């Protein structure tokens, strides 16, 4: 089955620890995205990548880092510099073609920092 | 700047019709998406409009007026499973970046 997977679904970490969230897709999509969702708020873009070995900051990149070494994978690291890391994190991918470029989302990871 | 507005909450009755509005102000507009999101789950794609007019997909329709910066999602023959948040998102330029509204939580009552 083609799709986007994120693991784990729930993650707990102590304050001050870095944590890496996994995102994998087998849709052969070129573009991948990371969003953060807080209660009562819309999705906010953290980082995005339109092609392997290249990525760009989104609107709220501070305290986060990413890598895109493989087309299928776009892991997100939440560093200790992120002031309010507790949130629902969503990964998405799209073909990257200009004409349509619908983004499809993974199931999300709910991160709680204690 | 960029701004997308949707009502925070709406309530409707099973079997009825509901219209969820979205207004936007953004530079480089290149299309508008609607997503459905059930609590604790990922958003799922509903519709995409880039030209003015109405797009119909079964019980769901989406309308766009670019000159007015306005879109709506129309849900017909409401079912209990339609209780969810509906997210309006505007695509900017050719980067694929989306700007999301805060979402409208729809509650369908029997």
- Cβ burial of A90 (10 Å; 0-12, 13-18, 19+) is buried
- Sign of the Cα pseudo-torsion (A110, A91, A55, B98, in order): negative
The whole-number pLDDT of residue A39 equals 86
pLDDT at position A2 is 66
CB contact under 8 A, A48 and B44: no
- Using DSSP's 3-state secondary structure scheme, residue A89 falls into strand
Q: Which two structure tokens, joined as six digits, stand for A8? A: 């784990």
For B20-29, what is each residue's pLDDT tens digit?
999 999 888 9
For residue B1, pLDDT beyond 70 = no
Contact with chain B for residue A39, Cβ under 8 A: no
pLDDT of residue B52: 96
Place of tokens 């992120």: A82
pLDDT tens-digit series, residues B21-73 = 999 998 889 999 999 999 989 999 999 999 999 999 999 999 999 999 999 99
Min Cα distance B42 → chain A (Å) is 5
| DSSP codes, A15-83 | TT--EEEEEEE-S--SEEEEEEE-TTS-EEEEEEEEETTEEEE-TT-TTEEE--SBTTB--EEE-TT-S
Residues of A in contact with B95 (CB under 8 A): 48, 50, 56
- Please, are residues B49 and B69 in contact by the beta-carbon 8 Å criterion? no
Q: How confident is the model at residue A107 (pLDDT cuts 50, 70, 90)?
A: very high
Predicted pLDDT of residue A1: 59
């Amino acid at each position: 089955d083609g799709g986007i997977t994120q693991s784990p679904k729930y993650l707990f970490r102590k304050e001050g620890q870095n944590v890496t969230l996994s995102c994998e897709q087998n849709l052969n999509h070129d573009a991948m995205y990371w969003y953060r969702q807080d209660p009562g708020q819309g999705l906010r873009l953290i980082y995005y990548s339109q092609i392997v070995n290249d990525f760009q900051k989104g609107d709220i990149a501070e305290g986060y880092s990413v890598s895109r070494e493989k087309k299928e994978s776009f892991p997100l690291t939440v560093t200790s510099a992120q002031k309010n890391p507790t949130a629902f994190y969503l990964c998405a991918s799209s073909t990257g073609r200009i004409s349509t470029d619908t983004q499809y989302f993974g199931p999300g990871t709910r991160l709680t920092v204690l | 700047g960029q701004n997308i507005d949707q009502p925070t909450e709406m309530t409707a009755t099973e079997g009825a019709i509901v219209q969820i509005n979205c207004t936007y102000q953004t530079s480089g507009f290149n299309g508008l998406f609607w997503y459905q999101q059930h609590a604790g789950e990922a958003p799922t794609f509903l519709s995409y409009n880039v030209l003015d007019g109405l797009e119909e997909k079964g019980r769901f329709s989406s309308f766009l007026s670019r000159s007015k910066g306005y879109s709506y999602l129309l849900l017909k023959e409401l079912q209990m499973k339609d209780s969810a948040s509906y997210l309006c998102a505007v695509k900017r330029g050719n980067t694929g970046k989306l700007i999301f509204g805060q979402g409208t939580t729809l509650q369908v009552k029997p």
